[in-house]
């Protein structure tokens, strides 16, 4: 009797011997990647060397994946005095192949720590790659993978995507830099709302055209420059909107709330208007099968900078006069954007279709399938209500 109890006790104690073995992976023995860049397929320089020595496997080099691993491994005890001011805190690893996961597993035969995707912050896809491959193909793995979070942000790069993951700053992790850049949205609408993986998934499933913020890199620095358009029906990249177009797009879609508009005044001097609030209302109209839209933009803001030697007194007269100038500028910008959307690229990325679907669901059902075409033929009228609320902290009299 006692013997058997003793045995049971021993068995109960056994798990403690296992302690620390079962599926335990210490965090410092793993490599987190926080950034991922997808480029057009070509062997990475290191890979070429490997392949020259015969280290290869069967593949067609359709895509090159670069991941950014942080932090770099430090050796020995940390010296507080020189925290690697010369060393970069990240490591970029590139590989080419036909499957992103297979490329990842190729990394596993090169790295000393297994890579984990929980902390992936940003995916940059080169527009060149998206011309060849569809966005569905490129995002299939990251959407399926269980570790990668749906909150990962997706951007497009104009040049090589892997260059956006390089930085000339000594102590900066580029993927964090890109992730943090959206914070400037409160300052300028040129920074568009970021698109997360989950949102991208929804956009792709509805076959609607959309824009992704465009990244340009140069001299070890990066910039948000406009947006790349993804055509919904094909899933390919078809072109870029420039910075002002992107800004305009944000205002029309009610996503942008800030920005500066520079125009030239009656003396041909720069005059800058700072937007305080902007409200846009898109109202669709269906007249005997003909779809048209009215867009009303109500803008409030202040005169924030002028180079005019002559006074601009703080009176209603001048407020109206400046708002006229701003309105012209506004109209010009909007017209440029609408030209691109309706004539050049023939896509609706500004949510006109959405409004139509809400107001006229039955009409929407008929035109849904080739909405981009229908949109490019629709008439869009803009009305503006621009007010100059104040002239900043300077008060001038006539």
Partner 1 sequence: MSFLSSIAHHIPDWIVFCQALIALLVPILATRIYKTLHSFVGTGKNLDTNKVSQTLESTRAATPFSGDYQTDLQAILSKIGSNSDLHTREFPLTKLNARGTLFCVDGMQNERILNMKMMEFLMFKATGDVLAEPSKAEDLLPFSSLSTISDIDNFNRSVLFGHAGLLIEGMPHGLLIEFPNGANRSIDEPVSEALIRGPRLGFSEVLSENTSMLRRQGFSDQLEMKSYLVGTRLQKDLVIAYMKDIVNPDLLQEVQTRVNNLNSDFLADSGYIEQLIEDNYLSPFQQVQNTERPDRVINALLEGRIAILLDGTPFALIVPVTFSMLLQTPEDYYERWIPGSLLRMLRFGAAFVALMGPALYISLIAFHPGLIPTELAISIIETRQGVPFPALIEVLILEVSIEILREAGIRLPKPIGPAMGIVGGLIIGDAAVQAGIVSPFLVIVVAVTAISSFSIPTYSAGVTLRLLRFVSMMFAAFLGMFGTILFFLLLCSHLTKLKSFGVPYLTPASPFRATDWKDLFFRAPLSLMKRRPAMLKTKDSKRKS
Calpha distance 129→178 (Å, rounded): 20
User: How far apart are CB 165 and partner 1 at their closest, in Å?
Assistant: 15
| Contact mark string toward partner 1, 25..64, x via CB under 8 A | xxxx-x-x-x------------------------------
Using CB under 8 A as the binding rule, whether residue 6 contacts partner 1 is answered as no
Tell which one of 3, 5, 309, 343 touches partner 1 (CB under 8 A). 5
8 touching partner 1, by CB under 8 A: yes
Read off the tokens for 133. Answer: 């491959």
CB of 10 to partner 1, least distance (A): 12
333 binds partner 1 per the rule CB under 8 A: no
Q: Backbone dihedral region of 87: left (phi > 0), alpha (psi from -120 to 50 degrees) or beta?
A: beta
Question: Is-contact 330 384, C-beta < 8 A?
Answer: yes
What track of x and - describes contact with partner 1 for positions 146 through 175 (by CB under 8 A)? Answer: -x----------------------------
DSSP strand pairing (195-196 vs 153-157)? antiparallel
A 10 A CB-CB count for 31 gives: 20
Strand-strand pairing, 270-287 and 290-306: antiparallel
**CB 390 within 8 Å of CB 227:** no
CB closer to partner 1, 124 vs 297: 124
Identified binder of partner 1 from the candidate list 116, 216, 325, 363, rule CB under 8 A: 116
Residue number, 24 or 86, with CB nearest to partner 1: 24
CB atoms within 10 A of CB 218: 10
CB of 74 to partner 1, least distance (A): 6
Q: Which of 42, 74, 171, 335 binds partner 1 (CB under 8 A)?
A: 74
Q: Looking at beta carbons only, is 12 or 109 nearer to partner 1?
A: 12
Measured distance CA(124)–CA(157) in Å, rounded? 6
Position 76 contacts partner 1 (CB under 8 A): yes
Q: How far apart are CA 296 and CA 298, in angstroms?
A: 6
- Cα–Cα dist 70/190, whole Å: 29
Contacts with partner 1, residue ranges (CB under 8 A): 5, 8-9, 15-16, 18-20, 22-28, 30, 32, 34, 70-71, 73-74, 76-78, 116, 118-119, 121, 147, 176
């Amino acid at each position: 009797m006692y013997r058997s109890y003793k045995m049971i006790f021993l068995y109960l104690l056994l798990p403690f011997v296992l302690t620390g073995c079962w599926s335990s992976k210490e965090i410092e023995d793993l490599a987190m990647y926080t950034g991922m860049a997808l480029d057009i397929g070509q062997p990475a320089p290191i890979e070429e060397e490997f392949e020259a020595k015969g280290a290869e496997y069967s593949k067609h080099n359709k895509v090159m994946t670069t991941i950014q691993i942080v932090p770099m491994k430090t050796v020995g005890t940390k010296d507080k005095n020189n925290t690697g001011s010369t060393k970069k805190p990240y490591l970029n690893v590139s590989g080419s192949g036909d499957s992103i996961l297979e490329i990842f597993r190729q990394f596993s035969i090169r790295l000393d720590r297994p890579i984990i995707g929980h902390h992936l912050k940003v995916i940059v896809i080169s527009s060149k790659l998206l011309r060849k491959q569809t966005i569905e193909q490129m995002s299939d793995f990251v959407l399926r993978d269980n570790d990668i979070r749906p909150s990962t942000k997706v951007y497009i790069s104009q040049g090589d995507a892997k260059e956006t993951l390089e930085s000339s700053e000594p102590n900066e992790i580029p993927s964090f830099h890109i992730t943090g850049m959206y914070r400037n949205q409160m300052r300028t609408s040129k920074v568009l709302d970021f698109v997360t993986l989950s949102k991208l998934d929804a956009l792709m499933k509805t076959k609607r055209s959309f824009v992704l913020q465009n990244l340009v890199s140069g001299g070890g620095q990066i910039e948000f420059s406009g947006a790349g358009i993804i055509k919904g029906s094909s899933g390919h990249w078809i072109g870029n909107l420039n910075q002002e177009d992107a800004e305009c797009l944000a205002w029309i879609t009610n996503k942008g709330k800030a920005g500066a508009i520079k125009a030239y005044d009656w003396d041909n001097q720069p005059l800058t208007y700072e937007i305080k609030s902007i409200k846009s209302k898109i109202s669709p109209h269906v007249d005997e099968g003909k779809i048209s839209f009215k867009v009303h933009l109500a803008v409030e803001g202040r005169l924030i900078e002028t180079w005019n030697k002559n006074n601009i007194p703080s009176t209603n007269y001048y407020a109206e006069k400046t708002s006229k100038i701003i309105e012209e500028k506004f109209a010009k910008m909007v017209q440029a954007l609408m030209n691109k959307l309706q004539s050049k690229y023939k896509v609706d990325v500004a949510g006109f279709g959405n409004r139509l679907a809400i107001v006229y669901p039955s009409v929407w059902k008929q035109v849904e399938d080739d909405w981009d075409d229908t949109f490019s033929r629709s008439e869009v009228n803009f009305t503006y209500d621009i007010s100059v609320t104040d002239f900043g902290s300077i008060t001038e009299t006539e």
